[in-house]
Amino acid sequence: MDYKIDKVKAPGRDEVELLQETFEEGKPDDNELGKWRQKLGTRDNMLKYLKTGERYWYSDDWYGSEKRKNPA
């Protein structure tokens, strides 16, 4: 990959090299957008996925760094 490098004047210094964006442009396939059901396979996996999502948004027993001592 070729990196884009610009030379800019920095405050208090001479010119410095500034690295520009390093990502490769691309677009997802429209065929695969929104097809989460096919990726999970079985009905049990789908239900587990949905229950986990609802627990994340609507439950009081959150976990990890999102857990709060005092609810908002």
Domain segments of the chain as ranges: 35-60
Q: Given this model, what pLDDT does residue 65 score?
A: 55
Token pair, residue 69, equals 């001592």
pLDDT more than 90, % of the chain:
10
CA 49 to chain centre: 18
SS3 66: helix
**The two three-digit tokens of residue 16, written as one number:** 């410095």
pLDDT one-digit tens code per residue, 39-60? 888 899 888 888 887 777 777 6
Separation CA 3–CA 24 (nearest Å): 11
